[in-house]
C-alpha cells in the first residue's frame, strides 16, 4: 500500500496551523520533566494530585496481583469482577444516583450512552461547546441533533418549545464544567426547563467530579438530579475509566444495547481499584475541592493583576484567549522555555479563531508556585505582538 496517498491530508492539516506532534513527558503530576527539562505542569487534569497518591497506586498494584493486569473479557463474558460492582456502587453514592455502569474510558462511555439511549424519532439538544466524545456519541445516534448556543438557556428554551409534540423523546446534553472554557452551564435553569418540557437531562461531569460538591460534582452541589450523569475517572480521580450514573432501568438498557459496552473488554482491574481508592479519599477529604478552587481563584486574580483579560469563570480551568493558532502555539513555547508546561489549544478542539492557552490548576501547585507562574505568564503576554 502506498502511504504517500495520506501526505495531502497531512499537508492540509499543516496549512491550517493544526499540526500536532507528541512530546514525551514523565508521569502525571504538577512537576514533571519534558524531554529531560523540568517543568511546572499546567496541562494536567489530575486536579486533586491523586494519580501518584500512595494509597491509589497501592490499590492498583494489589488489584493487578489479585485480578490480573487486564480483565481478559467483556463484562458480559467473564470480565465482571466484584471490583467493578463495588466501584459502581461507590460512584452511584458519590453522585447521588441509583446505580452506575463503568466503561474503559470516558470517551467510550459517552459514545456508548448517547448512541444507545437515543434513537429514531428522538431529538437531542446539544450545547455548542460539548466535548468531542458527546458529539461522536450523537453522530452514532439515529436521533435528530440540534445545537443550542453555548450555556444559553433562552436559546434552549426556544428549541424545547419548538420541539413540543414533534418527537418521541427529547434529550438535553451538556457538560457541567466546560473543559476548554472553564465556565459552568446554567444547570438550575436547564434542569427546570427539562422538567417543564418533559425532556431528559444528560450531564457530563468529567471536569467537576471530585472538585465541586464535596467531590460529587456540580449537579450534586446544586441539588440537580440528571437522568444520566456521565463522567470519567481519568481526571480528578487520577485513574482511568468512564461511567454513567443513572437509574437501574437505564443501566439495564445500556448493558443490553450499548455496543461500546457489550463488545469491549471490561475496565482493567488496576484502573478500577485505583478509582475506588480515590473515591474513598475524596469522601474522607471533602475540603480538597474547595482548597483547589480557592487556589485557582488566587491564581486567576494574580493573572488579572498581571494584565490578562480573563473570561469570567469560577473553576480550576483557566483559559487565556489568544485567537490565532500560530500565536497561541508561540506563546505556549515561550512559557515552556521559562519552565511552564502550558498547552496551546487550537481548532478543531475549540472553534476557529479562539485558539487559547488552557491552564489547569491542581493541588500539586502550591501558592508560591502559582504566584511565580503568574509572574512569568505576565512577562510573556507583554512580549507578545498586539493582535492585528
Ligand atoms: C468533557 C469530557 N468528557 C469526556 C472526556 C473523556 O474522558 P476520558 O479521558 O476518560 O476518555 C473528556 C476528556 O478529555 C472530557 O473533557
* Contact yes or no for 225/252 (Cβ under 8 A): no
Looking at the fold, whether 280 and 291 belong to one and the same domain comes out as: no
Both 109 and 240 in a single domain? yes
Q: How far apart are CA 235 and CA 362, in angstroms?
A: 10
- Total structural domains in the chain? 2
Average pLDDT over residues 192-197: 98
> Do the Cβ atoms of 230 and 204 come closer than 8 Å?
yes
pLDDT at 98: 98
Task: For residue 205, report the distance from its CA to the centre of ligand 1, in Å.
Answer: 9
| 258 and 313 share one domain | no
CATH of the domain at 190: 3.40.640.10
Residues tagged active-site: 45, 131, 175, 179, 204, 207, 235
The answer to whether residues 318 and 359 touch, using CB atoms and an 8 Å cutoff, is yes
For residue 106, what is its C-alpha cell?
470516558
CATH of the domain at 366: 3.90.1150.10
Which of 131, 202, 316 has most ligand 1 atoms within 8 Å of CB, for mutation? 131
133 Cα–ligand 1 center, Å: 7
The band of 177, judged by pLDDT with boundaries at 50, 70 and 90, is very high
Q: Are residues 125 and 182 in the same domain?
A: yes
Does the beta carbon of 45 lie inside 6 Å of ligand 1?
Answer: no
pLDDT given at position 388: 42
Residue 359: which domain range?
22-47+287-383
Same domain for 71 and 43?
no
Per the CB < 8 A criterion, the answer to whether 213 and 223 are in contact is no
- Domain membership flag for residue 119: yes
pLDDT grade for 124, boundaries at 50, 70 and 90 = very high
pLDDT value at 382 more than 70: no
pLDDT in tens, 81-94: 999 999 999 999 99
Residue ending a domain, among 284, 318, 337, is 284
Q: What is the pLDDT of residues 10-67, one digit of tens each?
A: 999 998 888 888 888 777 677 777 777 788 999 999 999 999 999 999 999 999 999 9
pTM, whole model, 2 decimals?
0.95
Residue 2 forms part of a structural domain: no
pLDDT recorded at residue 383: 63
In terms of domains, do 278 and 341 share one?
no
Alpha-carbon gap, residue 187 to 41, rounded angstroms: 31
Q: CB–CB of 258/137 below 8 Å?
A: no
Q: Are 205 and 95 spatial neighbours (Cβ–Cβ below 8 Å)? A: yes
Backbone angles phi, psi at 245, to 5 degrees: -105, 125
In percent, how much of the chain has pLDDT > 70? Answer: 98
User: Residues 29, 72: one domain?
Assistant: no
Q: Is 204 in the pocket of ligand 1 (CB under 6 A)?
A: yes
Note whether residue 16 is domain-resident. no
Q: For residue range 252-294, list pLDDT tens digits in order.
A: 999 999 999 999 999 999 999 999 999 999 999 999 999 999 9
Q: Residue 113 in contact with residue 244, Cβ under 8 Å?
A: yes
Count of C-beta atoms within a 10 Å radius of residue 345: 21
Residue 153 has pLDDT above 90, yes or no: yes
**Does some domain include residue 3?**
no
Provide the H-helix boundaries in the chain: 7-15, 54-67, 82-95, 106-117, 132-140, 153-163, 187-197, 218-222, 248-257, 259-262, 269-284, 288-305, 325-337, 367-383
Judgement on whether residues 329 and 230 belong to the same structural domain of the protein: no
The answer as to whether 12 is a domain residue is: no
Residue 11 lies in a domain: no
The per-residue pLDDT for 21 is 85
Residue 301 CA from chain centroid, whole number? 24
Start-to-end CA span in the chain (Å):
45
Using CA atoms in the order 133, 264, 29, 46, what is the torsion angle rounded to 10 degrees?
A: 50
Residue at 5 is within a domain: no
Residue 336 included in any domain: yes
The rounded distance, in Å, linking the Cα atoms of 205 and 212 is: 10
Which of 252, 284, 316 is the last residue before a domain boundary? 284
| Statement to judge: residues 160 and 291 lie in one domain | no
Considering the chain, what is the average pLDDT of its residues?
94
Alpha carbons 103 and 101: distance in angstroms, whole number: 7
**Final residue in a domain of this structure, among 234, 268, 284:** 284
On the 0-12 / 13-18 / 19+ scale of CB atoms within 10 A, 6 is exposed
- pLDDT tens-place string over residues 285-320: 999 999 999 999 999 999 998 888 788 889 999 999
Give backbone dihedrals phi and psi of 255, rounded to 5 degrees, phi first. -65, -30
- Asked whether 43 lines ligand 1 (CB < 6 A), one says no
pLDDT reading at 386 higher than 60: no
Whether residues 144 and 182 share a domain: the answer is yes
Q: In this structure, are 130 and 218 located in the same domain? A: yes
Same domain flag for 141 and 280: yes
DSSP 184: B
Amino acid at each position: 500500500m502506498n502511504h504517500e496517498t495520506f501526505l495531502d491530508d497531512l499537508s492540509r492539516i499543516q496549512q491550517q496551523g493544526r499540526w500536532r506532534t507528541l512530546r514525551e513527558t514523565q508521569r502525571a503530576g504538577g512537576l514533571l520533566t519534558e524531554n529531560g527539562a523540568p517543568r511546572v505542569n499546567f496541562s494536567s487534569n489530575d486536579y486533586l494530585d491523586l494519580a501518584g497518591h500512595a494509597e491509589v497506586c497501592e490499590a492498583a498494584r494489589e488489584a493487578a496481583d489479585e485480578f490480573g493486569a487486564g480483565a481478559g473479557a467483556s463484562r458480559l463474558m467473564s470480565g465482571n469482577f466484584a471490583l467493578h460492582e463495588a466501584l459502581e456502587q461507590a460512584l452511584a453514592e458519590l453522585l447521588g444516583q441509583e446505580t452506575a455502569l463503568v466503561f474503559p474510558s470516558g470517551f467510550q462511555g459517552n459514545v456508548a450512552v448517547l448512541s444507545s439511549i437515543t434513537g429514531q424519532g428522538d431529538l437531542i439538544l446539544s450545547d455548542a461547546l460539548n466535548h468531542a466524545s458527546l458529539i461522536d456519541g450523537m453522530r452514532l445516534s439515529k436521533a435528530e441533533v440540534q445545537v443550542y448556543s453555548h450555556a444559553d438557556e433562552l436559546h434552549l428554551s426556544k428549541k424545547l418549545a419548538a420541539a413540543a409534540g414533534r418527537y418521541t423523546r427529547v434529550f438535553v446534553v451538556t457538560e457541567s464544567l466546560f473543559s476548554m472554557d472553564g465556565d459552568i452551564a446554567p444547570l438550575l435553569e436547564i434542569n427546570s426547563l427539562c422538567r417543564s418540557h418533559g425532556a431528559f437531562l444528560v450531564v457530563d461531569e468529567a471536569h467537576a467530579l471530585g472538585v465541586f460538591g464535596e467531590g460529587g460534582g456540580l449537579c450534586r452541589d446544586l441539588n440537580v438530579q440528571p437522568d444520566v450523569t456521565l463522567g470519567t475517572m481519568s481526571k480528578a480521580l487520577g485513574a482511568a475509566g468512564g461511567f454513567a450514573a443513572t437509574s437501574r432501568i437505564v443501566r439495564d438498557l445500556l448493558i443490553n444495547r450499548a455496543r461500546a459496552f457489550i463488545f469491549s473488554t471490561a475496565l482493567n482491574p488496576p484502573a478500577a481499584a485505583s478509582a475506588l481508592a480515590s473515591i474513598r479519599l475524596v469522601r474522607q477529604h471533602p475540603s480538597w475541592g474547595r482548597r483547589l478552587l480557592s487556589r485557582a481563584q488566587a491564581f486567576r486574580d494574580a493573572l488579572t493583576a498581571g494584565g490578562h483579560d480573563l473570561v469570567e469563570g469560577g473553576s480550576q480551568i483557566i483559559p487565556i484567549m489568544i485567537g490565532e493558532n500560530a500565536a497561541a502555539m508561540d506563546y505556549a513555547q515561550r512559557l515552556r522555555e521559562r519552565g511552564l508546561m502550558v498547552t496551546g489549544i487550537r481548532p478543531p478542539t475549540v472553534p476557529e479563531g479562539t485558539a487559547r492557552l488552557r491552564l489547569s490548576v491542581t493541588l500539586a501547585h502550591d501558592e508560591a508556585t502559582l504566584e511565580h507562574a503568574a509572574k512569568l505568564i505576565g512577562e510573556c503576554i507583554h512580549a507578545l505582538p498586539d493582535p492585528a
